[in-house]
Structure 1
């Protein structure tokens, strides 16, 4: 399976960084989308697993490709936000959607601008705005669980304060931009010699975002993740003060491959998290209505 490289700008910039003592990193430099679409995989999702193609339109008229799966009578929705590289028709994002299709939840997943069939130019800021577009497309009565994978974890926390969001699921997530820069420096021989200046649009902090919300978080992280350190996943979990938050370490897991490396437990852990939070939410609503 193709290894996903979260925050691929770290890799893409290496040649630039090594050739210069200073570099300004813009938000268009951090993305590594693919316009290559696997038609067979896409057909598998739409014709076998019940996803329906949907187009979301940005304020500037760009079309964002989405896949929607509806379950009759269901008001709980998983909003799936994949990571930096590739697109929904390619692994591992295809495998995630294929596995989630066996659940009883509604699902909405998107390819950000510049990814797959979506219009527009790929950039970090467009990923954020497309995420807002996606949650706006969901109806007001839906209970939403945002599933952010890899760099998608930043997209997930960016909309976590929406009243409809009951909880977050983060897999292979990252902590903050400062630690990602430190990670780059530690992994590259001349990393410490380079002065890295970041576009303001790139400044994110998942730790602070999670600390700032009271909602439960399920953090999934592979213990053998060679892309994003396991310690980052643990830190995201520890940042949450909600007693219903849980940490799901995957012993043989790499980067965002839980759906195949721990196939037996993957879906049950996600279902258990959503169902337990939903029960708590319903109890809270019932108590509130009697006050």
Structure 2
């Protein structure tokens, strides 16, 4: 009886144990999934709240938008020594220009390739005097991220320097090794100071404002200010990958795509650009200008679509009395130039010189 009972007990115990084990194995996956569900719901709810709150935060605190427009914290390439441009670019020195009390901007000066041999080992004084050598001078105004050492900007300086241009490429206040904090009005002050500095040294050499992306709005701001307040007409303005105004640019750039169907997108985000003192009115500025104006846009630009460049061209052409002073050049999609790489097109110097009637 004891054996049978013991055996029975053992058998009964084995049966219950194996059943519970099997049942546990069967339930584990379900418990794991159910355990994840609350976490997943929490994460999705947090993402939804963030998505909804951003437009309202932007409206309440427009300064947030400046962080997206002025990407000065993205100081790529991160390890470039801006004081030593010769490590990346021939015939170039770095100089520093005070533009107002408390603000000094960093500038690279590349001399024309024909002066390359003579430029070796020269000090800043020689480079300044070289500005009067009759070669045209480009004041290059870059886009909203990185520094003057970005690869496509170096490519531009190499290409146009080899073609016989002086290049003065600055980092706006708050960018690169320039002091101060970014603002539209501050950028205008910086570029005006550089223009005056170059004009005082250039003799009869022509000076061209060349803006890329965000820099196009800075170029036309300064050209308009010179014309309206001083009666001075810059020799030419070149706008590479431009926009009509910063509001239209914000409505088209990829980062705002997820909010374009959001109720109140225009009021909460686009209208807040003005509250943050950001306008960059290319479309209004070109109505005032009278200098030669060249617009360059790639058909495959996915950051600022080419229709913005076309709209800007049409606005300028309607306003200009001398229609021959306004030209739009588009680059076909097959070239793959996109938003940043028009400067890699070897035909660019010829296109520019032809427009400006330069040899």
TM tier, shorter chain? 0.7 to 0.9
What is the match of residue 348 of structure 2? 266
Q: Any residues of structure 2 matched to 1:149-228 within 5 Å, and which?
A: 149-161=212-224, 162=226, 163-183=232-252, 187-189=257-259, 190-194=261-265, 195-196=268-269, 197=272, 198-199=274-275, 201-228=277-304
Matched, 1:113 2:197: no
Per the TM alignment, residue 44 of structure 1 is displaced from its structure 2 partner at its CA by 5.7
RMSD, aligned CA = 2.9
Point out the structure with max Rg over C-alpha: 2
Q: Any residues of structure 2 matched to 1:94-133 within 5 Å, and which?
A: 94-133=154-193
Q: For 2:98 and 2:108, locate their aligned partners in 1 and report how far apart those are by CA, in whole Å.
A: 14
Q: For 2:51 and 2:83, locate their aligned partners in 1 and report how far apart those are by CA, in whole Å.
A: 33
The answer to whether the Cα contact below 8 Å between 2:102 and 2:179 also exists between their aligned partners in 1 is no
Q: For 2:52 and 2:85, locate their aligned partners in 1 and report how far apart those are by CA, in whole Å.
A: 38
Q: How far does the alpha carbon of each residue in 1:59-91 deviate from its partner, in whole angstroms, 9 at most, with x for none?
A: 223221001134552252111100111011113
Q: How far does the alpha carbon of each residue in 1:76-124 deviate from its partner, in whole angstroms, 9 at most, with x for none?
A: 2111100111011113222222222212122211011221121222333
Q: How far does the alpha carbon of each residue in 1:18-67 deviate from its partner, in whole angstroms, 9 at most, with x for none?
A: 56583442374320023354437975657752122111112223221001
The answer to whether the Cα contact below 8 Å between 1:174 and 1:233 also exists between their aligned partners in 2 is yes
Range that drifts further, 68-77 or 78-87: 68-77
What is the match of residue 31 of structure 1? 70
Pick closer, same or farther for the CA change 1:103–1:200 going to 2, 3 Å: same
Q: Any residues of structure 2 matched to 1:268-283 within 5 Å, and which?
A: 268-274=350-356, 276=357
Q: For 1:206 and 1:21, locate their aligned partners in 2 and report how far apart those are by CA, in whole Å.
A: 24
Range that drifts further, 14-23 or 166-175: 14-23
Identify which of structures 1 and 2 has the higher relative contact order when contacts are C-alpha pairs closer than 8 Å and 6+ apart.
1
State the number of aligned residues.
263
Per the TM alignment, residue 239 of structure 1 is displaced from its structure 2 partner at its CA by 2.2
Range that drifts further, 237-246 or 13-22: 13-22
The answer to whether the Cα contact below 8 Å between 1:35 and 1:117 also exists between their aligned partners in 2 is no
Q: For 2:103 and 2:87, locate their aligned partners in 1 and report how far apart those are by CA, in whole Å.
A: 23
The answer to whether the Cα contact below 8 Å between 1:157 and 1:206 also exists between their aligned partners in 2 is yes
Pick closer, same or farther for the CA change 1:16–1:209 going to 2, 3 Å: farther
Q: What's the secondary structure of 2:168's corresponding residue? A: strand
Q: For 2:98 and 2:288, locate their aligned partners in 1 and report how far apart those are by CA, in whole Å.
A: 30
Q: For 1:41 and 1:98, locate their aligned partners in 2 and report how far apart those are by CA, in whole Å.
A: 16
Q: Which among 203, 208, 227 is matched to residue 145 of structure 1?
A: 208
Pick closer, same or farther for the CA change 1:79–1:21 going to 2, 3 Å: closer
Per the TM alignment, residue 164 of structure 1 is displaced from its structure 2 partner at its CA by 5.0
Per the TM alignment, residue 232 of structure 1 is displaced from its structure 2 partner at its CA by 0.7
Q: How far does the alpha carbon of each residue in 1:176-228 deviate from its partner, in whole angstroms, 9 at most, with x for none?
A: 13323433697224544342323362123211111111222111101000000
- TM-score between both structures, scaled by the size of structure 2: 0.65
Larger relative helix fraction:
2
The answer to whether the Cα contact below 8 Å between 1:38 and 1:90 also exists between their aligned partners in 2 is no
Per the TM alignment, residue 244 of structure 1 is displaced from its structure 2 partner at its CA by 2.7
| Structure 2 unmatched runs, 5+ | 1-49, 113-129, 227-231
- TM-score between both structures, scaled by the size of structure 1: 0.79
The answer to whether the Cα contact below 8 Å between 2:66 and 2:276 also exists between their aligned partners in 1 is no
The answer to whether the Cα contact below 8 Å between 2:104 and 2:180 also exists between their aligned partners in 1 is yes
